Amino acid sequence: MLVLTGAGEEAFCAGADLKAIETLDPDAPGGPLGFTRMGSPKPTIAAISGWCLAGGLELALWCDLRIATESAAFGCAERRWGVPLIDGGTQRLPRVIGTGRALDLVLTGRTVDAGEALAIGLVNEVVAPGRHVERALAVAERIAGFPQATMLSDRRALLEGEGRSLEDGLALEARLGRAQIGDALTGARRFVERSRNS
């Protein structure tokens, strides 16, 4: 598990330093941050407080889950300055919130608060100020408590199935699921045993 957060409560990440924009390399193999064009091998959670704008929003979208405080604010603020989205925003945002809502944020550059972000599916949960890291770590601990091979296999089927036809996605799910039958049998036996003892 990986939990990403900003330093302090004021911002998760407000994007690139526009005074040093010439240092950004849109052609960097891993993306401008060095890793955001690669998939994470494990589940990732963004713990967000304060500003989550531009490249910061793209970083949050790289994560599987996003937990935000009530003070969080999200948007494609780079729109105002003519800076393009170059770190996955145009590809991940519509996958998370749908094309129409993504176009609204990308084209207008408007900022949405945590309540709207929750309503449109941009964040998974909103928590009280200062509770974002604690809550993200609790979710990470819960996920880490599950049988990992099966959980990672299901995550892979979901992520790699995006953009495929339903038929191809179902075949991928079945292929990956077959590899987990041993763990499934072990888990089913544990369930049956626990049911007998309760």
Out of 11, 14, 16, 68, which one is annotated catalytic? 16
Out of 50, 55, 56, 88, which one is annotated catalytic? 55
| Residue 66, Ramachandran bin (φ over 0: left; ψ between -120 and 50: alpha; else beta) | beta
Catalytic-residue membership of 55 = yes
Helix boundaries (H) for 53-180 = 55-62, 89-97, 99-108, 114-119, 132-144, 148-161, 166-178
Catalytic-residue membership of 130 = no
Out of 75, 78, 114, 140, which one is annotated catalytic? 78
Answer for the pair 46, 60: CB distance below 8 angstroms, yes or no. Answer: yes
Catalytic-residue membership of 78 = yes
Please give the C-alpha separations between residue 18 and each of 5, 49, 77, 114, in angstroms, as whole numbers.
21, 21, 11, 25
Catalytic-residue membership of 141 = no
Out of 58, 60, 88, 117, which one is annotated catalytic? 58
Answer for the pair 89, 57: CB distance below 8 angstroms, yes or no. Answer: yes
Record the tokens describing residue 37, joined without a space.
């064009």
Annotated catalytic sites, by residue?
16, 55, 58, 78
